Chain A
Amino acid sequence: MFSYLFMPIIIVVFTGLLVLLYDVLAVNVRKEHLLFISLAGLIISTLYSAILWGLPFSFMKGMLVSDNFSIIFSVFFLLSSAFILLISYTYLNDNNLNVGEYYALVLFATAGMMFMASTFNLIVLYLGLELLTLPLAILICFKKGRDFSHEASLKFFILSVFSSAFFLFGIAFMFGAAGTINIAQVAGDFSTHAVISLPYLLISAGLLILGLGFKISSVPFHIWTPDVYHGAPTPVTAFLSAGAKVAGFAALIRIFFYLFPGIHLSLTEVFIVLSVITMTLGNIVAIAQRNIKRMLAYSSIAHSGYVLMVLTVFTPASISSAIFYLMVYVIANLGAFGIVLALRQKDREYIDIMHFSGLAWKRPLLAGFMAIFMLSLAGVPPTAGFMGKFYLFSVTVKNGFTGLVIAGLINSVLAAYYYLRIVYLMYMKEEKENVPVTLFPSLGVSLFILGIAAIYFGIFPSPIISLFKTTLFH
């Protein structure tokens, strides 16, 4: 009878298997069918998740849970994966990569992310993390015959397994501290003053932060990000920056919101330091980048810093502002990578920022959308990015960290420089080199939807924010 709780994840996994089987067994495989099957699976799973809204469920003592928090993140992952598939379709065709494995790996990674968001059990979370990491490592080196895509994959792989070992060690210490690795149970035991070894719990917290820090590319653990973002095929880079990072945050919020209400004091400073150095380093190094993929990599590091700012205190208000900010960031980032994908002819990509010069005169609509996404990432009104930052900063002030907000504001000014440079190049410069544009229907439609969303959530943010606020923790 609990099986319908699993349904969203089961649908995603089975769609992945179906795509693989179809690619192998069917006579005359039509490549569109692979896309349609995967999209259908993702959309059905999204609808199923929506049905489960407001019906909190817990299976096997929290090994798998379905609450509003997990549903918001699941829908988030499913939709971003759907957009990834849509924007990558012709890119795959042009590079001879359009095979069932690509779709299956994206779907399996999505299932991994959903596991990460919908469990209280740390070992299940670890399995979800690995189910996300291993398909990603394969996806990064998916483009055969390129030196740096293999190199990026190896860097990603070694550092991922390295960081998951830390994460697992953290789980072991949690087990040693409390005799259980169910977060909700540990938190319950803590509040009733059951026997819990505090030193072990603190070691565990440190190791868990370290392991997840790699996933969200917070600063001491960010070294892999620019290289991997640069070396991976562009749709996979978009996937890394959207889904994979948000999954890391989902796990971080899940663990620390439920687990450490009692021993906040010792962790607040950790998050403050992480937040400030993450956003500062990300923004300063991003200014120097000439490659748009590397620039977006450093910008995504900086955005992790902003989100960490509000996670210094885990209250429902901070969590909902963090989720809203992540949503806004993903919309703009997917859009920006979509535009990068459009500047391409066959398998040659144009990823220097100078290639954006004069785009507005050649393709005004495309440049307009790029401007929206850049302004949204920079946090300029009336885009969604502004509302996201505004909400984030105001919650941080309410939490009592005015200094942190000042650091955030200075950083936003720094960040505006390199985002607006793209806008400046597009509108104010002459075209230097003839940069071809490949725009295909599925990319155009997704860019349109993302662009509208980036404006819509900037003008009407209150419905979705109040949705997060009122229903997240019931």
Chain B
Amino acid sequence: MIPIKLYLVLSGVLFVIGTSGVLVRKNVLVMLMSVEIMLNAVNLAFVSFARYMMLPKGQVYVFFSITVAAAEVIVGLAIIISIFHKKESMDVDDMNVLKG
């Protein structure tokens, strides 16, 4: 049997890839996709823990997570589309009216 650590390493690597995608990439759509990678890394962690401990409820939590991710994508795409109508751009560097 493959040890749990390997699954967690994979999940962690995916999570880091997603995180760096959000932090580094400039395209809003790619940032949204990176967030999805992060959420899927979490799902992988949930499922592998559930399998490792033989607790099926861990897999049920994944359903909640998937549902929320779908809702997030809907709202996110709606916001991105309304920005695109206005600016004809998806680059975060063009979104510089507000300066933190």
Taking Cβ atoms with an 8 Å cutoff, the residues of A that contact B are 123, 126-127, 130, 134, 137-138, 141, 147-148, 150-155, 157-158, 161-162, 165, 168-169, 171-173, 175-176, 179, 181, 223-224, 226-227, 230-231
Complex interface: chain B residues within 8 A of A147 (CB): 86-87, 97
Instruction: Identify which of A130, A150, A171, A223 contacts B72 (C-beta below 8 A).
Output: A130
Docked-complex contact B64 and A127, CB < 8 angstroms:
yes
Query: Chain A binding site: helix, strand, loop or mixed by DSSP?
Result: helix
Whole-angstrom CA separation of A32 from B43 in the bound complex: 45
8 Å CB interface, B49-80 against A = 49-50, 52-53, 55, 58, 61, 64-65, 68, 71-72, 75-76, 78-80
Docked-complex contact A154 and B42, CB < 8 angstroms:
no
A205 nearest CB across to chain B (Å): 16
Whole-angstrom CA separation of A376 from B25 in the bound complex: 43
Instruction: Identify which of B41, B46, B79 contacts A157 (C-beta below 8 A).
Output: B79
Complex interface: chain B residues within 8 A of A123 (CB): 61, 64
Instruction: Identify which of B38, B49, B52 contacts A162 (C-beta below 8 A).
Output: B38
B17 proximal to A (CB < 8 A): no
Complex interface: chain B residues within 8 A of A165 (CB): 15, 18, 35, 38-39, 42
B40 nearest CB across to chain A (Å): 10
Given contacts A130-B72, A152-B98, A169-B41, 5 further A-B contacts (CB under 8 A): A127-B68, A150-B83, A151-B83, A162-B38, A179-B53
A112 nearest CB across to chain B (Å): 12
B73 nearest CB across to chain A (Å): 9
**Size of the chain B interface, CB-CB below 8 angstroms:** 41
Complex interface: chain B residues within 8 A of A168 (CB): 39, 42, 65
Query: Chain B binding site: helix, strand, loop or mixed by DSSP?
Result: helix
Whole-angstrom CA separation of A64 from B57 in the bound complex: 17
Docked-complex contact B100 and A172, CB < 8 angstroms:
no
Docked-complex contact A153 and B61, CB < 8 angstroms:
no
Docked-complex contact A172 and B68, CB < 8 angstroms:
no
Complex interface: chain B residues within 8 A of A162 (CB): 19, 22, 35, 38
Whole-angstrom CA separation of A226 from B19 in the bound complex: 23
Docked-complex contact A151 and B97, CB < 8 angstroms:
yes
From B64, which residue of chain A is reached at the shortest CB distance? A123
Between-chain CB contacts (< 8 Å), 13 pairs = A126-B64, A126-B65, A137-B79, A154-B83, A157-B75, A157-B76, A158-B35, A162-B35, A165-B18, A165-B42, A169-B41, A175-B49, A175-B50
Complex interface: chain B residues within 8 A of A126 (CB): 64-65, 68
Whole-angstrom CA separation of A324 from B98 in the bound complex: 33
B68 nearest CB across to chain A (Å): 5
Docked-complex contact A158 and B83, CB < 8 angstroms:
no
Docked-complex contact A158 and B22, CB < 8 angstroms:
yes
B9 proximal to A (CB < 8 A): no
Whole-angstrom CA separation of A330 from B36 in the bound complex: 34
B82 nearest CB across to chain A (Å): 6
Q: A134-B72, A137-B75 are in contact. Are A154 and B95 (CB under 8 A)?
A: yes
Complex interface: chain A residues within 8 A of B97 (CB): 147-148, 151, 231
B56 nearest CB across to chain A (Å): 12
Docked-complex contact B80 and A154, CB < 8 angstroms:
yes
Q: A126-B64, A151-B97, A230-B98 are in contact. Are A175 and B58 (CB under 8 A)?
A: yes
Docked-complex contact A176 and B45, CB < 8 angstroms:
yes
Whole-angstrom CA separation of A150 from B95 in the bound complex: 9
Complex interface: chain B residues within 8 A of A175 (CB): 46, 49-50, 58, 61
Docked-complex contact A150 and B82, CB < 8 angstroms:
yes
Docked-complex contact A172 and B46, CB < 8 angstroms:
yes
A288 nearest CB across to chain B (Å): 13
Complex interface: chain A residues within 8 A of B72 (CB): 130, 134, 161
Instruction: Identify which of A150, A172, A227, A230 contacts B45 (C-beta below 8 A).
Output: A172
B30 nearest CB across to chain A (Å): 11
Docked-complex contact B42 and A169, CB < 8 angstroms:
yes
Complex interface: chain A residues within 8 A of B15 (CB): 165, 169
